[in-house]
Amino acid sequence: MRLTSRRPWVLGLCTGLVAMVGSSLSRGGEPDPKSYWDVADIRPGMKGVGRTVMVGTKLEEFKAEVLGVMRDVSPGRDMVLCRLTGCDLEHAGIIQGMSGSPIVIEGKLLGAVAFAWEFAKDPIAGVTPFSQMIKYVRSNDRRIAAESHDREKSGRTETGFSSASLLIDGDFGLGGHETRPMPVAMAAAGAGMTSIMTPLSASGFSPRSMAMLSSRLAPLGMSLGSGGSAPERIVREEGDKPLVPGSPLSIAMVMGDFDLSGIGTVTHVEGDRVYGFGHPMLGLGACELPMMTGYIHTVYPRASVSMKMGSPLKIVGVIDTDVSTSVSGRIGPMPDLLPLSVRVKTGRFAESRTYKVRMVREPTLLPTLVLSVLTNAIDTEGNLPEELTARLSATIKLKGMAPITLSDELSGARYTGMMGASALFGPVASIVGILTRNPMASVRIESIDCDVSIEPGRRVAQIESARLISDTIEPGGRLRAVLTLKPFKGERFTIETSAAVPTTFPEGPSEVVFCDMANSVRRAFRNDPTLLEPHDLEAILRAIRVQIEPKRTNLYVHIPSPERAVSVRGLALPNLPGSARAVFASKRETGITPLRSDLVSSAATDWVVEGSLALKFTVAKDPGLSLSLPGK
């Protein structure tokens, strides 16, 4: 039995146009093909009406005249050119935020206003045919279902995790964290014609955070501007109004003490399915973003492309599709958002403040959003000291696994200037990116909690010199050294440190390296290349721990030990005799990597240590040396 779907669509708020009623058979809840135009039937000169909101939530009409059809502006996509009049469009031109405004001709839906020319003299728009909006949404639904079925059937996971993808801090000198390419908003053909940029309203964000977000989101077709939340009265009176064709459609990315959301227009509503924009928001494909009602404060006219200034109101559902011809979602479900809190204290006697937000879990967006929110939390406290020392702790709670905890003290040139705050929180954002984009297994982040305390002054000490108490030592003894450190704008001081040499350590010349945390981590990765070639989630977590467990306030002592291990296809085989290692080395196959290790010890200091020095020493079995070995 086939269901009949009836949806009245009243146009003509002021002009008295006849109501359109789409009342015919629908396919699986989709709009009836008889209710919208086939592109092949569109002719120049056809006239219709559209609707959008210019102020508040009140629907207004504008007129549209078809100028022509541009076929194949991109693979499988056509565009209808229309001249728009009314709603003061002759003055303002095509407006950012109009994306999705429906145009109806002779009672049938043509499509959504979606494209415009910058600096145009006439309000000529590119309209995405509604037939192609439905087609691409349906195709995305089928692809999601097929991919999900294939994964369940085969149990396969993605591969190709590059080495740089596991590095959380460029200070380690190993290339820095690799950023996965973001989706790119598609531009249409025609000199200067592009998809209408989605106005992105940022509430509570500092100019520095805005600049960071803008550099990341502008190439995706989003126009970032400072905004604000709607007054409580407006949220209460307007927030529960239903989404209808022409009404504002807001899509949030960050909600809470800081807010980041884009705004466009609803094109069509069929049952609980909402279609809008007429172009992608971010080109994510399948997604899960908060779908919200919206409120338009005003239209800001500009010489290039004017824009609506709006605010999100209430969550009414989830945007689950973001494809080349539209965004689409369902009314009713609530989005699964990630909670993040950050406690900030600037100054020894200052009161701490806590900021809380919820943000979308989209892997390609999440690291940028995390970094922007954490950076912004510091900016809200005012200008940072020119020279600072920060104590940072962060806990990333994972479902079904032990939390990842980062706790450290940071200071130095990296953390001063405009990019200082970003450098402070960069490791947290990188860890989030590693976890959400890892190809080995699904990881659910339950929450992120950060605590940062900032005080003026750079508490950094450079390793200036080192002296061994004795440069010859017996196996089983302790190698002792005295190091001189030079604090930033402070007096030199010395620190004594030592490292045990095992009784099995071979005789002969050797080397000891005194270094900071960054150099210590760098040596760990170079000694064990398998850290950058994980074969399961546990190996990825191990690579993260290797980077976050050392402390910047420690002085590290490394003594390279003889090579005694190899890795065979990611499996470490330690303490192999020389004959066994030679056998593996002689095999002509890939996946065999020699592993090295260091004897590592550390000494805590009151300073962030920087620098590295190496000294030579000799291991020799000589009883006469016992008198020079402290502790013997």
Over the stretch 502-518, which tens digit does the pLDDT of each residue have? 998 889 999 999 999 99
Residue 110, pLDDT > 60, answer yes
Q: State the Cα–Cα distance between residues 238 and 230, nearest whole angstrom.
A: 10
Q: What is the mean pLDDT of residues 534-545?
A: 92
pLDDT of residue 200: 84
CA separation (Å) from 587 to 362, 562, 580, 583? 44, 21, 11, 7
Query: Hey, what amino acid is at 102?
Result: P
Find out whether 205 and 261 touch, Cβ atoms under 8 Å: no
Written as one string, the DSSP assignment of 305-325 is -EEEEEEEEEEEEEEEEEETT
Q: Please give the share of the chain, as a percent, with pLDDT higher than 90.
A: 55
Using the predicted structure, report yes or no on whether residue 222 has a pLDDT greater than 90: no
Q: Is 39 helix (H, G, I), strand (E, B) or coil?
A: helix
Separation CA 323–CA 278 (nearest Å): 9
CA dihedral 229, 234, 240, 242 (to 10 degrees): -90
State residue 326's pLDDT score.
93
Is the pTM higher than 0.75?
yes
Least confident range of 113-122, 189-198, 215-224, 375-384: 189-198
**Contact assessment for residue 534 and residue 161, using Cβ atoms and an 8 Å cutoff:** yes
Distances (CA, A) of 541 to 3, 50, 440, 527, 537: 52, 53, 11, 18, 6
- 301, pLDDT greater than 90: no
Tell me what pLDDT residue 23 has: 34
What CA–CA distance (Å, rounded) separates 596 from 576?
Answer: 12
Q: What pLDDT, on a 0 to 100 scale, did the predictor assign at position 138?
A: 87
Task: Give the pLDDT confidence of 239-290 residue by residue, as tens digits.
Answer: 999 999 999 999 999 999 999 999 999 999 999 999 999 999 888 889 999 9
CA dist., res. 413 & res. 455, Å (int): 15
- What does pLDDT average to over the chain? 83
* Long-range CB contacts for residues 482-487, cutoff 8 Å, separation at least 24: 483/514, 483/555, 483/613, 485/461, 485/555, 485/605, 485/607, 485/609, 486/461, 486/462, 487/459, 487/460, 487/461, 487/462, 487/607
- C-alpha span between 115 and 93 (Å, rounded): 12
Which helix (H) or strand (E) segment is 226 a member of? Answer: strand 222-226
* DSSP code at position 558: E
pLDDT(570) > 60: no
For residue 484, what are the CA distances in angstroms to 172, 236, 492, 558? 23, 65, 7, 17
What is the pLDDT, as a whole number, of residue 89? 92
Sequence letter at residue 73: V
pLDDT value of position 632: 40
pLDDT given at position 166: 80
pLDDT, tens digit, for every residue of 356-411? 999 999 998 899 999 999 999 988 877 777 889 999 999 999 999 999 999 999 99
Tokens coding 514: 């005194």
Nearest-angstrom CA–CA distance, 576 and 476 = 21
CA 430 to chain centre: 9
Q: How far is CA 593 from the centre of its chain?
A: 33
Predicted confidence band of residue 180 (pLDDT cuts 50, 70, 90): very low
Q: How confident is the model at residue 541 (pLDDT cuts 50, 70, 90)?
A: very high
Q: Tell me which residue has tokens 């949806």.
A: 7
Region of residue 191 (left: phi > 0; alpha: psi -120 to 50; beta: else)? beta
Please, where are the H alpha helices in 271-419?
Answer: 366-379
Domain boundaries, the chain: 1-335, 338-456, 460-561+596-628
Q: Taking a C-beta distance cutoff of 8 angstroms, is the pair 282, 326 a contact?
A: no
Pick the CATH number of 338-456 from 3.10.20, 1.10.3470, 3.40.50, 2.60.40: 3.10.20
CA atoms of 610 and 461, how far apart (whole Å)? 6
Tell me the per-residue pLDDT of 462-487, one tens digit each, with 9 for 90 and over. Answer: 999 999 999 999 999 999 999 999 99
Q: What is the pLDDT of residue 379?
A: 84
Find the helix packing angle between 517-527 and 537-548, rounded to 10°: 150
Is 497's pLDDT higher than 90?
A: yes
Q: Kindly tell me if the per-residue pLDDT of 80 is higher than 50.
A: yes
